[in-house]
Amino acid sequence: MPLDLIPTGDTWTRDDLYRLTNLMIDAAEAAIAGCRDADVTFVPSDPAAHDTFAADASAVDLAWTLGHVIVHATASAEEAAFCAAELARGVARPGRTRYEVPWESITTVAQCRARLAESRRMRLASLDLWPAPPHLETEFRYRPDGAPINAYERFMGGLRHANSHIDQIREIVRQAQTRAAC
């Protein structure tokens, strides 16, 4: 996994964030390299599917398609990147800044690749918003009683979340391609 290469502690640099962002997108692109359009909307078998944050109760146990996972993972990483840029600039704004492309609109491999490319561009550009040095004393908390995190930790949280979906992407592709071979 790309994030196995993460420096630990507070030794991160913006260069690490650029490098890890590229590794994450590269891993997702490699995972879908042999896909066909039918693979993007294929509904895999996922007995562990459970989304406690689903907007609709009927979607809580819905197995995610490849398009769904890609838009979710990119939206999460983008949100973290933009929040991290605000923290780095000394702005501690509570709340969410999330936009997720409607997953149902992603039906082709070209759209998946475009979404990954757009996410890479936006995340890397967000790092260019950081001042030198960043305001690492500015902190964010997911919950009022949660641990405070700085700009690096917020950005890394988005990368970790995206990384948690790489094996899911690979499994969806495996199932879709196994089905196609039958």
Tens digits of residue pLDDT in 13-55? 999 999 999 999 999 999 999 999 999 999 999 988 888 877 7
Phi/psi at 116 (5° precision): -65, -45
pLDDT grade, residue 94 (50/70/90)? confident
Q: How confident is the model at residue 30, as a pLDDT?
A: 97
3-state secondary structure labels for all residues of 94-123: CCCCCCCCCHHHCCCHHHHHHHHHHHHHHH
Q: How confident is the model at residue 131, as a pLDDT?
A: 97
Strands (E) in 18-159, as ranges, are: none
Taking alpha carbons only, the member of 170, 169, 180, 182 closest to residue 69 is: 169
Q: How confident is the model at residue 93, as a pLDDT?
A: 83
Residues 97 and 87: beta-carbon distance below 8 Å: no
> Coil, strand, or helix at residue 140?
strand
Lookup: tokens for 153: 């930790």
In the predicted structure, residue 6 carries a pLDDT above the cut 60: no
Q: Please state the pTM of the whole predicted model.
A: 0.91
Q: How confident is the model at residue 29, as a pLDDT?
A: 98
Q: How confident is the model at residue 8, as a pLDDT?
A: 57
Tens digits of residue pLDDT in 126-177? 999 999 999 999 999 988 999 999 999 999 999 999 999 999 999 999 999 9
In this structure, the number of other CB atoms found within 10 A of the CB of residue 167 comes to: 11
142 against 6, higher pLDDT: 142
Q: How far is residue 54 from each of residues 98, 100, 106, measured CA to CA in Å?
A: 14, 13, 18
